[in-house]
Amino acid sequence: MAPDDTKDRIVEAAITTLKERGYAGSSARAIAATGSFNQALIFYHFGSVRDALLAALDRTSAERMAAYRTAAASATDIQGLVGVATEIYHEDLASGHITILAELIAGASTDRTLGPEIVARIAPWIDFAREEIDRVAQGSPLAQLVPADDLAYAIVAQFLGLELLTHLDGTAERAERLFQLAGSFSTLLSMSGLMDGGPPR
Amino acid sequence: MAPDDTKDRIVEAAITTLKERGYAGSSARAIAATGSFNQALIFYHFGSVRDALLAALDRTSAERMAAYRTAAASATDIQGLVGVATEIYHEDLASGHITILAELIAGASTDRTLGPEIVARIAPWIDFAREEIDRVAQGSPLAQLVPADDLAYAIVAQFLGLELLTHLDGTAERAERLFQLAGSFSTLLSMSGLMDGGPPR
DNA sequence: GTCTATACTTGGATAGAC
DNA sequence: GTCTATCCAAGTATAGAC
């Protein structure tokens, strides 16, 4: 965690500033103040504030992805997967990862060139969700009905929407209940037989 | 549509600017340029840019809500409701209403005082969704399982997340497929008997 | 109510000393 | 590689003429 060189310090400061002050609040001066270094260093090392913020997203994305894969590996059925999703939601809130993602998405409405960069960094999450869905649902009747990649897209969208509303609400209470509901629902789904027939891997 | 007085012209210009340039792109100067009026008029009539943007959200919200209630009135079952949701999605994309909402949510990360204002304007949509769910699902076995207000919250979150991703993607293709899927799924739900027992109103 | 002009602030970015 | 100093652009908001 302790950043050894300046580039690291800038990335860490960018992450902190994005979480605490949002996209528009993450100016070169604000980031420099957070990390107690000179404002001009951002331009020397990254060329622009924009690229420093994308580097921040890169870092948290890589860290979270590693954590997700580890957590998901233990899930063998839909109920386990919902449990992992709940865990991921909590970890994301705590780590601030989705906050950073949401802030950059917000920023994309100003700087349109950010859009493709963000899409490229979201794609792995959709892939990840799709792989996990395939893993527990492949061969089941439900898999015939719902293409895994569409479902994966919907789930990522749901995470984003929930995070935004949670942010505005100032409370995660309603999202909490939704994950509990998803747990109950996955149990129902298991019992229904709609998830049967998948090869356990 | 033709704005008769200046206050109307400002609101219309704010709506257009929010859609075309996003929250951060909607400065007093940009809005004034869109509507071909003097920049200082925004401060005279609304006191601040922030309040002019909220007035824009107020207007589109009121307009859309009226349209939704009309469209929803014809739906008597879950399949009809999914049809209405699809319709709403298309109308929102076309009218740019969710874009405006998403932009202001994005802006809330900068100006934290926007948060409560936006929550207050989203609340009616959640209420609306809950009422409609109640209307078609009340008394059914599913209604015992899934509280309508939680489901309503999830649906609004899903709309928001989809809109954001659609925006970044530059294509609504995946969202389109999701609504088609929701249609198929609602048919399945009807046939399952999980929706039975509700008093048709 | 609407205009011009302007004061003030913040931020991106660079030059050039060290 | 890091610093100070600074330029320039864009934005909010207000004063004051009309």
A116-161 pLDDT, tens digit each? 999 899 999 999 999 999 998 888 888 888 899 999 999 999 988 8
Distance CA A79, CA A68 (A): 16
Mean pLDDT of A175-187: 91
Name the closest nucleotide to A47, judged by C1' and CA.
Answer: C13
Q: Which residues of B touch A23 (CB under 8 A)?
A: 106, 109-110
* Contact map slice: B 129-158 vs A, CB within 8 A: 145-147, 150, 153-154, 156-158
Question: What is the DSSP code (8-state) at residue B77?
Answer: S
Distance CA B44, CA B10 (A): 11
Helix A78-95 with A114-137: angle, nearest 10 deg: 150
B181 interfacial to chain A (CB closer than 8 Å)? yes
Closest by CA position to B126, among listed B151, B105, B145, B146: B151
Closest by CA position to A156, among listed A176, A127, A135: A127
Tens of each residue's pLDDT in chain B, 201 residues: 545 699 999 999 999 999 988 888 999 999 999 999 999 999 999 999 999 999 999 999 999 999 999 999 999 889 999 999 999 888 888 888 888 888 888 788 778 788 889 989 999 999 999 999 999 888 888 888 889 999 999 999 998 888 888 888 888 899 999 999 999 888 988 888 778 765 555
Name the closest nucleotide to A33, judged by C1' and CA.
Answer: C11
Closest by CA position to A132, among listed A177, A36, A190, A65: A65
What is the residue-wise DSSP string for B143-177? HHHS-HHHHHHHHHHHHHHHHHHHHHHT--HHHHH
pLDDT at B108: 84
Smallest CA–CA separation between A119 and chain B, in Å? 7
Contact between A108 and B150 using a beta-carbon 8 Å cutoff: no
Q: Does residue A65 contact residue A129 with C-beta atoms inside 8 Å? A: no
Which residue of A110, A114, A171, A192 to mutate against B (max B Cβ within 10 Å)?
A110
Distance CA B51, CA A100 (A): 26
Q: How confident is the model at residue A180 (pLDDT cuts 50, 70, 90)?
A: very high
Closest by CA position to A103, among listed A31, A43, A151, A39: A31
Cβ atoms within 10 Å, residue A170: 11
Burial of A37 (0-12, 13-18, 19+ CB in 10 A): middle
Contact between A168 and B118 using a beta-carbon 8 Å cutoff: yes
* b/e sequence A179-200, b meaning 16+ C-beta within 10 Å: bebbeeebeebeeeebbeebee
Q: How confident is the model at residue A182 (pLDDT cuts 50, 70, 90)?
A: very high
pLDDT for A195 beyond 90: no
Extended beta strands in B3-74, E state:
none
Protein CB footprint (7 Å) on chain D nucleotides: 1-5, 10-16
Helix A49-72 with A97-108: angle, nearest 10 deg: 140
Lookup: tokens for B171:
């294509």
Decide which of A167 and A86 is more confident. A86
> Who among B22, B110, B165 is closest to A22 (CB)?
B110
Burial of B114 (0-12, 13-18, 19+ CB in 10 A): buried
pLDDT at A170: 80
Contact between B150 and A115 using a beta-carbon 8 Å cutoff: no
Smallest CA–CA separation between B36 and chain A, in Å? 22
Q: Closest chain A residue to B182 measured between Cα atoms?
A: A146
pLDDT in tens, A37-86: 999 999 999 999 999 999 999 999 999 999 999 999 999 889 999 999 99
Cα A23 off chain centre by: 16
